[in-house]
Amino acid sequence: MKRIKIFSLCFTVLLSLCALSYGADAKTFNIGALFPMTGPQAYYGRVMSRGAQMGCNHINADGGVEGYKLKLIISDFKNVDVMLALSAMQKMILIDKAGCVLTSFSAINLGVQPVCAEKHVLMINGGAYSPKLAEKPYLYSTKVSQNQMAPPMLRHFWDMGIRRIGIIHIADPAGEVPVETLVKPLWTQMGGTIVATEAHQPGLTDYSSYLSRIKEGKPDALYDISTGQDQAFIVKGAREIGLNIPMTVPDWNDDFQAIAGKTSENVYVPGDHFNLESSDASARRFIDGYKAKWKEAPDIFAANYYDAVYNMLPELIKRVVRKGANPADGAELEKAIWENPAFKTVYGGEIKINRDGSSNKPIAIFKIVEGKKTVIKQVVSE
């Protein structure tokens, strides 16, 4: 019995030594991720995390990058809780030693950016679109911003003969800034009229009071800059009070369509144009793999975070390691961007990072036709 106990103890010690030895040789690059995994915005967390995790899986299956395996560490900020995101960010910096964090939602990006800049943590945003995200150290976006989306959408409305618009937007930087700096000045410069502007709190299901005030102005179209399911409830609510006019929203997906149903007809969506029929080998690996695993097609948000993890970050790690520097140092990763700011993308060709932190990539104006996003115009990002 004693011999068995001694053998068991020796075996345990041996396993521990092996584990320590393996840990010393194996290198892991931790990637932090701030996503809304629960609450009313959980759709975004679901698809963003799936895209990012698939990117990690594919890189690791290919042998890693410069001796590193990628590990995704996700923190849930629930209903866009900035304090929760800040707490998670501290853990990622102090405990996880993440050199890069994937961020989403404008309020979250703006909330954690000063910390990331101070601690030298590279941020890659694939979901938020506020113009306020520009010119922020350590913050780079693969999602097109309202600076790029609003002008072509307004021009399209003008070409449709629309002259009077009502505006409804979320009462935070994601809505306030593009409305005041883009939509209002651009539309009035074009000669159009704004009949009403309504700012709303997020997470509601009844927007009838806001929409009724807009309806009184007799608009030709409705311009909505909201987030999450709010967009679907606004579309549905507008139709229910008789606002059967063209509308535009920042994005659309099957979850929103399930809420809006047939009321989504005559809704327009400007934004990233991800081609699910692409013949590019890298894109097909992502699209087909995503469909096989999750039984649904990837959307732009899944594609953006896959790009960040599969195409952009590994290239930056390679550049840093080849210089003999530490890739967990976000300052080195940021400097590496400017060696060549063009990166491969599952959107086709290359995505170029601009000096203000935005990116150039394919954009389209979509129209909801029988419940499906249909491309009606392709646009060159500005």
Say if residue 143's pLDDT is above 90: yes
- Tell me the mean pLDDT in the region 267-272: 95
Residue 353, strand partner residues: 359
- Tell me the mean pLDDT in the region 266-277: 94
CA distance 68 to 201: 43
The single residue listed with the structure tokens 């694939």 is 126
* Res 19: pLDDT: 35
Nearest of 198, 111, 95, 185 to residue 147 by alpha carbon: 185
Say if residue 16's pLDDT is above 80: no
At 172, the pLDDT band (50, 70, 90 cuts) reads confident
Say if residue 40's pLDDT is above 50: yes
Say if residue 311's pLDDT is above 90: yes
- Tell me the mean pLDDT in the region 198-216: 96
The CA angle 278-304-141, to the nearest 5 degrees, is 135
- Tell me the mean pLDDT in the region 40-62: 96
User: Two tokens at 124?
Assistant: 């890659």
- Tell me the mean pLDDT in the region 282-290: 97
- All domains in the chain, ordered by first residue: 23-143+277-362 (3.40.50.2300), 147-272+364-379 (3.40.50.2300)
Side-by-side strand order, sheet with 193-200: 193-200, 164-170, 221-225, 247-248, 267-272, 363-369, 372-379
* Res 25: pLDDT: 44
Say if residue 21's pLDDT is above 80: no
* Res 26: pLDDT: 55
At 380, the pLDDT band (50, 70, 90 cuts) reads low
At 361, the pLDDT band (50, 70, 90 cuts) reads confident
The single residue listed with the structure tokens 């994937």 is 102
Query: For all residues of the chain together, what is the average pLDDT?
Result: 91
* Res 104: pLDDT: 94
Say if residue 328's pLDDT is above 60: yes
At 20, the pLDDT band (50, 70, 90 cuts) reads very low
Element (H, E) at 198: strand 193-200
- Tell me the mean pLDDT in the region 210-235: 96
The single residue listed with the structure tokens 């899986």 is 57
CA distance 157 to 180: 18
Q: What is the pTM of this model?
A: 0.85
* Res 381: pLDDT: 60
The CA angle 180-183-188, to the nearest 5 degrees, is 100
* Res 98: pLDDT: 94
At 79, the pLDDT band (50, 70, 90 cuts) reads confident
Nearest of 213, 219, 283 to residue 247 by alpha carbon: 219
- Tell me the mean pLDDT in the region 122-131: 94
Q: pLDDT of 85-126, one tens digit each? A: 999 999 999 999 998 999 999 999 999 999 999 999 999 999
CA distance 308 to 306: 5
At 27, the pLDDT band (50, 70, 90 cuts) reads very high
* Res 382: pLDDT: 56
Residue 170, strand partner residues: 200
* Res 210: pLDDT: 98
Lowest-confidence range among 54-58, 233-237, 375-379? 375-379
